[in-house]
Amino acid sequence: MEKGDDILRDRFSEKKLDDEYDCIIIGSGMSGLSCGSLLSKLGQKVLVLEKHYIAGGMTHTFTEKGYEFDVGVHYLGNLGPQGKDRKYYDMICQPEDRIDFNQLGQKEHLVYDRMVIRDRTQGGKIRKQVDYRAGDKEYLEGLYLAFPEEKEAID
């Protein structure tokens, strides 16, 4: 490929096809691309087909009226240096393509998301706010704090 070619927008053309493939994958979402990557590393000749005009499934972005929107995954867990799911991610990516992830959240409490529950019967008054914090222990502590009567159900 020439530098600057966008393989994610490489439209289908019958002329581009070879005569034989070991595997044909329908759909270029995370699962399809992951399987295609792993199979090709095992020596399989793989064709990934996608009906949308851009590959990536729910992992791509689009722009409308000057705003960029991401449509899929927003948070990935356990992908830090010692993350228990890191080994699966590393199997899919080439060593030179490895992506290092940043910790989400505010520095002090690592809050990465906030849920606000409003009371519809009282003009939208905030009834409860739940901060989702990074880390298993911190995440559970936030839920316990917001819903102390539901500790057993949370566990």
Token couple for 109: 């409490």
Of residues 106 and 155, which shows the higher confidence score? 155
Query: What is the per-residue pLDDT across 90-132, written as a single tens digit (0 to 9) for each?
Result: 787 777 777 777 777 666 667 888 888 888 887 778 888 888 8
φ, ψ for residue 68 (rounded to 5)?
A: -100, 135
Neighbour count for residue 25 (Cβ, 10 Å): 19
DSSP state of 96: G
How far apart (Å, rounded) are the C-alpha atoms in residues 125 and 116? Answer: 10
7/1 Cα distance (integer angstroms):
9
The two tokens of residue 67 are 């705003």
- Domain edges within the chain: 1-61, 72-102, 111-154
> Picking from 19-28, 131-140, 146-155, which range would have the lowest pLDDT averaged per residue?
131-140
Rounded to whole angstroms, the Cα distance separating 19 from 33 reads 21
Give tens-digit pLDDT for 41-85: 899 999 999 888 778 887 777 788 888 877 777 667 777 667 777
